[in-house]
Amino acid sequence: MSEVKAYIKQINGISFAGKTDSGHWVTMDGPADFGGSDAGIRPKELLLLALGGCTGSDVVSILQKKRVKIDSYEMNITATQTEDHPKVYTAMHVEYVFKGKDLKEDDITRAIELSQTKYCGVTKMFEKAMTVTHSFKIIES
């Protein structure tokens, strides 16, 4: 096993800056009515970005290995959250959107399947706490 570290520093009130072993900083904050400055992403929102970054890079890598040429690629991630504190996500859905010429549905399906079942550690962690689903669409360019 290896260890990963994060360093988080308070900037002001509930504004924080954090970095991990990669050395890149991210600013986190809350809304003004909660004591924040609204100067950064909400900490829990980072979870959605983590999922997108993890599965997104898997899918691109797999499609590149298959020599599939895509013109553009996006993901829309939605999360369902409880109403009461602690407000936790109970489900997440990833919609993969591909643009390209003559993209084959089988290639896209396989790349997503491999990411979801074999490679994306964020998906695997989240599946222990909630339902994670996905869909995709292909737009001909």
Over residues 34-79, the pLDDT tens digits come to 999 999 999 999 999 999 999 999 999 999 999 999 999 999 999 9
Query: Does residue 68 contact residue 107 with C-beta atoms inside 8 Å?
Result: yes
Q: What is the pLDDT of residue 68?
A: 98
In which residue are the tokens 């890079």 written?
A: 57
Preceding peptide of 86 cis, ω within 30°: yes
Mean of pLDDT over the chain: 97
Q: What is the phi-psi region of residue 73: left when phi exceeds 0, alpha when psi lies from -120 to 50, beta otherwise?
A: beta
pLDDT class for 129, splitting at 50, 70, 90?
A: very high
Q: Which of the four CATH numbers 3.40.50.970, 1.10.150.130, 3.30.300.20, 3.20.20.80 does domain 45-140 have?
A: 3.30.300.20
Angle at 129 between CA 128 and CA 135, to 5 degrees: 85
